[in-house]
Structure 1
Amino acid sequence: MNETNTAGPEVSVVVPVYGCAGCLEDLSDRVGASLAGQGLSYELILVDDNSPDNAWARIRELSAVSPFIRGLRLSRNFGQHAAISAGLSRARGARIVVMDCDLQDVPEEIPALLDGLKGDCEIVLGQRVERQDSWLKRTGSLLFYRTLGWLTETRYDASTANFGAYSRKVVDAMNAMPEMDRFLPLMARWTGFRTIAIPVSHGRRTEGRSGYSLRKLIQMATRIVLSFSDKPLRLVMSTALALAAVGLGVALYAILRYVAGDIQVAGFTSILASVWLVGSFIMASLGVVGLYLGRIHYETKQRPAYIVWQDTWKDAP
């Protein structure tokens, strides 16, 4: 799926598009102004992830009037990170910027991110010091990343997201990863290249609404954990050993009381409680194992993570 070209522009800007068709003209103008002002050649890749607001028509219009804008349309909604991967596979720049389409990632901060790619630094993330989100969304984001970090055994900074600049080396490494479940932060982190975070301003959402409901966040977190970590399996094993130790202790205690003559018949309540406890744990354990087997089955199909249906550069008359 890697379609890079070493003769491309200096900078590629990859933007997954969902639910923000009204922002696209302003986005393209501001991205162009921020990069042209630095004397940098660029391309802007807008990836329509089956947006419900007819964003593709707007993307085609913008691509028709600007030679710097390339539009990709996925055949269905594959998810934000699959859309980012589609854009990265077509990005030709020596440096690549990833940002959201709702203008909360401020285009004027792109030069600062690119300036950070110096020396041995290959990844620069935008750190949203003053987030322009509701208290509920900030709290939910913090809990999400804390839980995800604990389950995947990685450190997450909830003030950073997808907004960042990546060297060609990093993007080539991520394009070579064959897994279907894509999650940009973990894939970039896995490469091991030096990463820094710099403070950036954060804009208010002026168009559309976030596509991540609580249910979708939970589903995404589950897929990420199952794809990038075996900690749930280790937690199941640890819990099983702990329950075995407790069960052994209870059994020894009961035997000692019986030998001492304190009890004549084992209690029905304690037996029933033990059966329910152990049975519930066994079912939960099988469920966790089943989830992993399901993800393995999903990956062994070797289907593409996304399908590009239309490309404004290739489909133009």
Structure 2
Amino acid sequence: MLISVVSPVYGCKGCLDELHARLVQTLESLTDSFEIILVNDASPDAPWELIKDLAQRDKRVKGINLSRNFGQHYALRAGLDHSKGDWVIVMDCDLQCDPAEIIKLYEKAKEGYDVVFTKLKQKREPYFKALTSEMFYNVYNYLTGMKIEKSLSSMNIANRRVVEVIRSMKEHHQVHFLFLKWAGFRSAIVEIDHNKRFAGKSSYDFKKRIRLAVNTFLTFSDKPLRLAIRLGFYLSCVSAVFMAYKIIESLLHGHQVLGWASLIASIFFSTGLIISVLGVVGLYVGKIFEEVKDRPLYVAKDLLNINE
């Protein structure tokens, strides 16, 4: 039984030695056959030399060096594409999720589950970040009609059949754990502790989180378009009723229809609404443009201990 662990590496070079040691200790208690795939996503702290050193000392460590910074989920996809395990575990390299928790995931998976997610008992993050995270899940659940539990972490385990399904998804916006949820395989959730980062700091600032959220909403749902149509229909109905009311009032009471200020305000309002709706449509057209170019999701510059 081969187990693969895939971990994107960005901004956490100081974690790698400890990550390797803990993973080896945990995985050796489960199986004699495993691989640790570390994917360097052009990290600014230059971890590739350390990954090369780890791969030289331990042939079970496999390295992928991307040609530039493609993003966490694309680095993760690179690792999945080169994994060979019957079970594949994905986790961040910052050790906020302890590799020892892999035992808990694996034992749960053996109960007959295809996928096992992890839920953090208590998130160690600033209030504002926790608030925006909760807002993301609420909006995502509303737009997609799915039910994604809050406080899910990026650490999970999936069997080979599930991984191959995920690999067949060629969308240019990749969010691994949401793909796992969408695929609909039999799944379970286990609770794990959320630790402080062993080294480094998160690269997800507010701007990146907003961009990720918008791209995710556009990728997984067309509901914004349907909401725009519904809003336009409601406003048309309200406008028609108001116009009918003013015409009847004028005919019955002889009132003149006045209000240049209100007319100008309504024109500006309707124009702004039209531009907003066109913007939503433009975002979807932009996503279509990304997809039809059919570029590779990532470019791997160097491979270590990986046979193509």
Measured after TM superposition, the shift of residue 45 of structure 1 is 0.3
CA distance in 1, matches of 2:30, 2:304: 26
Aligned position for 1:206: 198
Residue 3 of structure 2 is aligned with which of 11, 21, 34? Answer: 11
Measured after TM superposition, the shift of residue 245 of structure 1 is 1.1
Q: Give 3-state SS (helix, strand or coil) of 1:235's partner.
A: helix
Residue 231 of structure 1 is aligned with which of 195, 215, 223? Answer: 223
CA distance in 2, matches of 1:40, 1:110: 15
CA distance in 2, matches of 1:269, 1:40: 78
CA distance 1:107–1:314, change in 2 (3 Å): closer
CA distance in 1, matches of 2:70, 2:292: 18
Q: Give 3-state SS (helix, strand or coil) of 1:104's partner.
A: coil
The residue type paired with residue 253 of structure 1 is: Y
Matched, 1:265 2:220: no
Aligned position for 1:131: 123
CA distance in 1, matches of 2:131, 2:256: 55
CA distance in 2, matches of 1:148, 1:76: 29
Give the ranges of 4+ consecutive aligned residues of structure 1 lying more than 6 Å apart after TM superposition. Answer: none
C-alpha RMSD of matched pairs (Å): 1.5
Aligned position for 1:5: none
Measured after TM superposition, the shift of residue 120 of structure 1 is 4.0
Residue 63 of structure 1 is aligned with which of 30, 52, 55? Answer: 55
CA distance in 2, matches of 1:63, 1:223: 35
CA distance in 1, matches of 2:280, 2:73: 24
CA distance in 1, matches of 2:245, 2:114: 60
Partners of 2:48 and 2:65 within 8 A in 1: yes
Partners of 1:11 and 1:40 within 8 A in 2: no
Q: Cα deviation per residue 1:14-69 (whole Å; 9 max; x = unaligned)?
A: 00111000000100100110111223421000011111101111111111111110
Residue 117 of structure 1 is aligned with which of 106, 109, 117? Answer: 109
Matched, 1:154 2:146: yes
Partners of 2:62 and 2:306 within 8 A in 1: no
TM-score (norm 2): 0.96
Matched, 1:145 2:137: yes
After superposition, residues 162-201 of structure 1 pair within 5 angstroms as: 162-201=154-193
Q: Give 3-state SS (helix, strand or coil) of 1:155's partner.
A: coil
CA distance in 2, matches of 1:120, 1:36: 22
CA distance 1:89–1:314, change in 2 (3 Å): closer
Q: Give 3-state SS (helix, strand or coil) of 2:119's partner.
A: strand
Partners of 2:171 and 2:291 within 8 A in 1: yes
Partners of 2:2 and 2:87 within 8 A in 1: yes
CA distance in 2, matches of 1:146, 1:50: 32
> Percent sequence identity over matched residues?
36
TM-score (norm 1): 0.93
Measured after TM superposition, the shift of residue 119 of structure 1 is 4.7
Q: Cα deviation per residue 1:146-194 (whole Å; 9 max; x = unaligned)?
A: 2232233322222112101101111010011121211112211221101
Q: Give 3-state SS (helix, strand or coil) of 1:30's partner.
A: helix
After superposition, residues 23-34 of structure 1 pair within 5 angstroms as: 23-34=15-26
Q: Cα deviation per residue 1:237-257 (whole Å; 9 max; x = unaligned)?
A: 111111111111111111121
CA distance in 1, matches of 2:254, 2:185: 65
Partners of 2:9 and 2:92 within 8 A in 1: yes
Q: Cα deviation per residue 1:242-284 (whole Å; 9 max; x = unaligned)?
A: 1111111111111121112252133112211211111111111
CA distance in 2, matches of 1:209, 1:262: 71
Partners of 1:133 and 1:204 within 8 A in 2: no
CA distance 1:197–1:91, change in 2 (3 Å): same
Larger mean CA deviation between 211-220 and 112-121 belongs to 112-121
Q: Give 3-state SS (helix, strand or coil) of 2:109's partner.
A: coil
Structure 2 stretches lacking a partner, 5+ long: none
Residue 80 of structure 2 is aligned with which of 65, 78, 88? Answer: 88
The residue type paired with residue 282 of structure 1 is: I
The residue type paired with residue 307 of structure 1 is: V
CA distance 1:314–1:87, change in 2 (3 Å): closer
The residue type paired with residue 107 of structure 1 is: P
Q: Give 3-state SS (helix, strand or coil) of 1:116's partner.
A: helix
